[in-house]
Structure 1
Amino acid sequence: MDKGISILRRSIDETIIRGDEVLSERIEVIPVIDILNGVVVHAVAGRREEYKPIRDSVLIRQPDPGELLVRLKEMGFESVYIADLDGIMYNKVNDNIPRLVEEVGMRAMMDIGISGLRRSDTEHIEYVVGTEYLRTVEQLLDLSGRVVSLDMIHGKVKFAKYSLDIDYVLNVIKQVHLRKLLFIDLDRVGTMQGPNLELIKRIRNEYSGLFIVGGGVRSVKDILQLKEIGVNCVLIATALHKGIIDKRFY
């Protein structure tokens, strides 16, 4: 009986992260791994040119992506979000990362830059399409079944050639069935300032699908407030490396 319950719980957890119809009453923590020049870096406020290798982490001694994946797996995490900044900034994708994810036995949402538009999802990897790679907001209508990230900076959703108000973008998103919607507040990433709860609440009120939030989350209190709003998963890096957050579900 215990084995059967364990299998059922695992099945439910996998359904949550894969974006199917069943949603959990718990909120899931998804660790973020930012990779630049092949090593794990500390992302701060979207200023990518200033990102430095991670230091003083309670999780790892060296900024090695493989070491971090193994440690997160040991802690009970099953899924991660990976920003391949070499792919995003220089179109030089770290193609060894999906192999590492699979070897560790995890799943990942991966942002590899504009080339992610041309890649198909696999059993272990879902490729994230960020709005910053789209030339027009109308291109969102072609992304049914994909994982899409609203890349917010300076209060606007960033696209390749312009930025738009969130309400306008949400009106377009409501016309397409996305697999998952991510909201990443780049101004708050790595700052420990806390999430923009009012804005996140507005998005949740307009979007009923699987909703994942990242940027500024600093505490269990922040996570529980996001849970109360109806957020399904939260992306966290800094608070994990500081030892403030240390488990998968809340």
Structure 2
Amino acid sequence: MQIIPVIDIKSGLVVLAQQGQRNRYQPLSTLLCQSSQIDDVINAYLNLYAFSHFYIADLDALMQTGNNHGLINLLFSRYPNLSFIIDNGSAKPVYTPLNTDQLIPVIATESITEQDLSILKQQTDNFILSLDFSAGDTQMGEQRIYQFSNLWPDRIILMTLGLVGKNSGPDLVKLAHYHKNYPQHQFIAAGGIRHVEDLLQLKKMGIETALVASALHNGKLSCDDIRQLEA
């Protein structure tokens, strides 16, 4: 199983996500990292474990209040051996990675129409689609996107925003449903993961990738736990 640390950026700082209420996110200061500077957060993650991939959400771009393109672009040269999965609300190229392996774009259902997703799918399969569910557990964006899996790329994030930072566990029912009904796709769990027991349960279900933040920052997921999961 692959564990991918999450970094949410707002106004140039890393913030701690809480149930999708983006306007209320505060600069990060945790047991793992007391700094909200992105390099400090990445290095804190790397000091815990030799992660190869990081998920980055540009909240300003997603909320259409600005962007952090310049800050994110610097990461490619600072961390040439890492890959960044980036959600900025657009499928248009705005970054300049040193090589194609460094960048994996994400487009979320809240940010794309069915028509634009169909066009993108015809052009490339090198992106990840995030099926987003709101804090009220409703589908975000056009519902037809959730119904027509022929529009989906190989990798799909199931993002349950209402569970982010809530410490109540992942949405096992939703993950099991999608994994069972769309076996041709690789599903990535996101939202609510508390500890290694949650991840072992996901792994047993057949979910092989998870986005994690809180469990890393509060010390509930250790280096030994990650080694066990990735074995």
Q: What is the TM-score when the length of structure 2 is the normalising length?
A: 0.85
Match of 1:93 among 57, 68, 82: 68
* Corresponding residue for residue 108 of structure 2: 130
Letter in 1 for 2:46: K
CA distance in 2, matches of 1:246, 1:138: 43
Taking structure 1 as reference, are residues 222 and 102 closer, same or farther at Cα in structure 2, changes over 3 Å only? farther
Query: Which structure 1 residue ranges, 5 or more long, are not aligned?
Result: 1-26
Judge which range, 30-39 or 94-103, deviates more: 94-103
Q: Secondary structure at the match of 2:130?
A: strand
CA distance in 2, matches of 1:139, 1:171: 16
Aligned ranges for residues 51-90 of structure 1 at < 5 Å?
51-55=25-29, 57-74=30-47, 75-89=49-63, 90=65
Whether the 8 Å contact between 1:58 and 1:242 is mirrored in structure 2 is: yes
Whether the 8 Å contact between 1:143 and 1:178 is mirrored in structure 2 is: no
* Corresponding residue for residue 156 of structure 1: 138
CA distance in 2, matches of 1:189, 1:219: 13
What is the Cα-based RMSD across aligned positions, in Å? Answer: 1.9
Whether the 8 Å contact between 1:111 and 1:128 is mirrored in structure 2 is: yes
Letter in 1 for 2:110: E
Whether the 8 Å contact between 1:86 and 1:94 is mirrored in structure 2 is: no
Give aligned-pair identity as a percent.
29
* Corresponding residue for residue 45 of structure 1: 19
Superposed CA deviations along residues 3-37 of structure 1, whole A, max 9, x for unmatched, are xxxxxxxxxxxxxxxxxxxxxxxx11100001111
Taking structure 1 as reference, are residues 143 and 225 closer, same or farther at Cα in structure 2, changes over 3 Å only? farther
Letter in 1 for 2:186: L
Taking structure 1 as reference, are residues 133 and 170 closer, same or farther at Cα in structure 2, changes over 3 Å only? closer
Q: Secondary structure at the match of 1:132?
A: coil
Superposed CA deviations along residues 72-130 of structure 1, whole A, max 9, x for unmatched, are 223211111001112212142332213224422311101112xx311288321111101
Please state how far the C-alpha of 1:206 moved relative to its aligned partner.
2.0
Is residue 216 of structure 1 aligned with residue 192 of structure 2? yes
Please state how far the C-alpha of 1:169 moved relative to its aligned partner.
4.1
Please state how far the C-alpha of 1:170 moved relative to its aligned partner.
4.1
Superposed CA deviations along residues 42-101 of structure 1, whole A, max 9, x for unmatched, are 11010001000112x222221111111122223211111001112212142332213224
Whether the 8 Å contact between 1:44 and 1:191 is mirrored in structure 2 is: yes
Count residues in correspondence. 213
Q: Secondary structure at the match of 2:84?
A: strand
* Corresponding residue for residue 236 of structure 1: 212
Superposed CA deviations along residues 119-162 of structure 1, whole A, max 9, x for unmatched, are 28832111110100123x35433343121101111222201xx5
Taking structure 1 as reference, are residues 180 and 98 closer, same or farther at Cα in structure 2, changes over 3 Å only? farther
Whether the 8 Å contact between 1:110 and 1:125 is mirrored in structure 2 is: yes
Taking structure 1 as reference, are residues 142 and 229 closer, same or farther at Cα in structure 2, changes over 3 Å only? farther
Q: What is the TM-score when the length of structure 1 is the normalising length?
A: 0.79
